[in-house]
Amino acid sequence: MMPLFGGATVLLLVMVLGVVGASSLLVERQRLYSLADGAAVFASENFDPALVSRVNSRPRAPLTSNRVRQSASEFLQRVSSEGLDGVLVESAHTPDGWHAEVTLSSVWSPPLVSEFFPDSLRIRVEARAQTFLR
């Protein structure tokens, strides 16, 4: 009876560690995605007003990859990434001059270190935003 109880206790402990670790990873990823989304929106709205033109009777504000990269870095300097370790701008560019794509990464460490989970893991998210003018 005692070995069965000990085995069940170990199994329960491993399951609890797994749920806590997975929940922590999910929350960290959502926080990083929120930061990347904000950087992409900021970059898509940071264009030179002098370059706005009309294409098929619609206004168009061209983005450049260099400006998107600078805007994403500026956004990360302005906002707090407190609680996120090692936030890096993996890439920030515009594929078509209309959208801004920002990829951020961060280092996640599980709240409870054990044999079953790595000590740290680099997570990466990508966000995309589009410029809208009326």
How far apart, in whole angstroms, are the C-alpha atoms of residue 93 and residue 119? 32
Q: Please give, one letter per residue, the 3-state secondary structure of 50-100.
A: HHCEEECCEEECCCCHHHHHHHHHHHHHHCCCCCCEEEEEEEEECCCCCEE
Dig out the tokens for 32 from the structure.
């990083």
Q: What is the pLDDT along the chain (134 residues), one digit of tens a residue?
A: 778 888 889 889 888 888 888 898 899 999 999 999 999 999 998 877 777 777 777 777 788 899 999 999 999 989 877 778 889 899 999 988 888 999 999 998 888 776 766 788 899 999 999 887 76
Give the per-residue pLDDT at 39: 95
